[in-house]
Homo-oligomer: A and B are copies of this chain.
Amino acid sequence: MNISDAAQTCQLTTKALRHYESVGLVVPERRPNGYREYGAQQLKDLSFLAHSRAMGFSLEECRQLLELYRNPGRASADVKKLAQQKLSQLDAQLEQLHMLRDSLTQWVDHCPGDASPTCPIIQRLSETDAART
């Protein structure tokens, strides 16, 4: 299967597929004319990759997941560990973003939003250092 068909099948772009090959994640065969030939196994790997990426895993994390996916002798504990790591990252990120959102929401609520220059948002951002809400 050609690269663009493989890409469409797996909901990816041709550029992504070339990238995955360049970093050694999914390496297709080559036909005599130099065209990439994606086989059934590659297509499965690419789908797995696409789903892993969609779940927020980085390419390096995907590399580890893919290794486990390909290894029938894997231990589910290893998979779980990777997932839990990602979960921790997600939680940390969520906490951070929540705080930003809460602050920003308050600031927006207190901003008149009219033609006057007085604005609590600007004031907060310019405060040298003090108790900030």
Binding site for B on A (CB under 8 A): 44, 47-48, 51-52, 55-56, 65, 68-69, 71-77, 79-81, 83-84, 86-87, 90-91, 93-94, 97-98, 100-101, 103-105, 107-108, 111-119, 121-122, 124-128
Task: List the 4 closest A-B pairs by CB distance, nearest first.
Answer: A76-B119, A80-B113, A80-B111, A75-B115
Chain B residues with CB under 8 A of A48: 125-126
- Count of identical protomers in the assembly: 2
Q: Which of B44, B55, B90 contacts A126 (CB 8 A)?
A: B44
CA distance in complex: A66, B55 (Å): 36
Asked whether, in the complex, the Cβ of B111 is within 8 Å of the Cβ of A76, the reply is yes
Closest chain B residue to A117 by CB distance? B74
